[in-house]
Structure 1
Amino acid sequence: MEKPTRIGLLGKGIVLTLVVAAVAYPLLGVIGTSFASQSDIIKSPGLVLWPEHPTTEAYRTVLGGGVVTHALLISIGVTLVGTACSVLVTIGMAYGLSRRDVTGSRFILMTALLTMLFDPGIIPKFLTVKELGLYDTLASLVMPTLVSAFNLVVLRSFFMNLPEELYDAAKVDGAGDLRILIQVVLPLSKAVLAVISLFYAVTYWNAFFNAMLYLNDSQNWPLAMVLRTFVLQGQSLEGASAGETLAPQQSVQMAVLVIAVVPILCVYPFLQRYFTKGVLTGAVKG
């Protein structure tokens, strides 16, 4: 609680400046390179922080081919549907496990926690997905990761920390468990719900490993899989117009990166005020 010294404030300012520079430089470099022309790429062997001849040719090449646009729509759909399903299932499980009178709740909770410690492995998960008829379908991107044990524990801790008098008062008024959950618990849980929704959304948006395992048809690939195939493996985008003057490959790669990052950057500021409060839920008791 002591007042910080000038040296301390100076040290914090220097460290914060270095951290911001370490984060901002590659981000600005990716954005600048995506707008760079061929002459800018030749002049600067690495990332182009400030292109002298900015052009949107890379974005026209990316969006004009149709591959990235199609993958973007798939990622948006999978993220929205997957996040909604995951949040609903997590809410139901967390509320049930937070009630002490539910039979077998401790066994179910321990089973969920075991998934955080022991991974079944790639082959068993692949065989399970195939036997359930989910192979080569978009459902394979959602069902294997429907519930996160970490998010379940966070939400359960929040529900358990709510005053028991709220539940008792609602029961006295004749409310059942479903009505208590919808009208009493959920309105008080906006912060933690925003945080776990963000966690789920980022997981679905960035997931490429499940797509690589379970999707054989490239028409069903999400944006993360297209990003990995094109940027890391250097394969060209299909569907570009014949005879069209394409942008430099490095600029096109950075344009795909920008398109993949922008949606999360647009959503995060709206959830930022809930983030700290939601993450610390259950950290302090009493």
Structure 2
Amino acid sequence: MVLKVKWIDFKSQIDKYIIEGEVLLEKYKSSRSEEEFTELKDAKQSWENTVISFVKKSFEPEHINFAYEFRAQKGYNLGMKLGVDQKIKNTIQALKDEINGLNYYLKILFISDAIVRPDEIDLNERQNLDTDGILDLILSKLYDLYKDGKYHSLNLILEGNGVKLNGRSEDWDYGRMLENRGFIECMNGRNVNAKLKLEGKYAIEQARKRQVTDYSKISSSDEELKELIKQVLSEIEKLGYGQQIIFDEFDELREDIPNLDKKSFGQLLKAKLYDLVTQEAFDKAIASEIFKQFTDQILPF
């Protein structure tokens, strides 16, 4: 399964659906009547259908399992034996779960290279990673998910990044190896779920500091760089990221162009993108897309 549309556009649309869902929560959170319950149910179903239709058609082949994965699976009782207050409460909670599910879905997709950015990786190389390579990949992706503090399926991470497991317990073995090294904490069940520990976070940060970014693809033309900055600002403004700090940072970058070689420009761009993510002007996905437009490289976090 591969994303057919640009990641930045897909994420922007899902973010809009999340906002629409939150509007429904706000609108009906104080509802008490049977009529309002019916309106809430209908509005929720319409919202669900819109989200499901968009997601299914955004992938090749269509993501036909998304409907089951997306709709709240906790089995909230909405039957006639409940009072209307409880039915509304259960429906609201189911909607909250679906909104949270969409947020998590975006996080997992963002770190799934084989689905979101297959043209930017060597899938054959991924499929033939040795043990050290697979362990490094797991740590790297858990690092990208570190801030939410949750456990994440190793199987899901590996499959989303083009790694096929050879046996049922292989994810358990990888988890055990990393846990024994003190890098992750595992929660074992039918599938192995893990989260990064501080030791693992530190190991990834040290490894990434040693990475050398290739800035050779950056344009040598000052005018081309200035035009690209203009295009980037236009794109992110259309996506709803219009904070003044973004424009200020890129204005400074544009003014410095005549004094910078490729490497210096790339390093300054990277620093500004890190700062903007830290200040929550936009997220890592947007920053990575911007960095790629200038350098044809993935921005390491």
Bin for the TM-score computed over the shorter chain: under 0.3
Pick the structure with greater CA Rg.
1
Query: Scaled by the length of structure 2, what TM-score is found?
Result: 0.25
Query: Scaled by the length of structure 1, what TM-score is found?
Result: 0.26
Work out which structure has the larger RCO, using CA pairs closer than 8 Å and 6 or more positions apart in sequence: 1
Write 1 or 2 for the structure with the bigger share of strand. Answer: 2
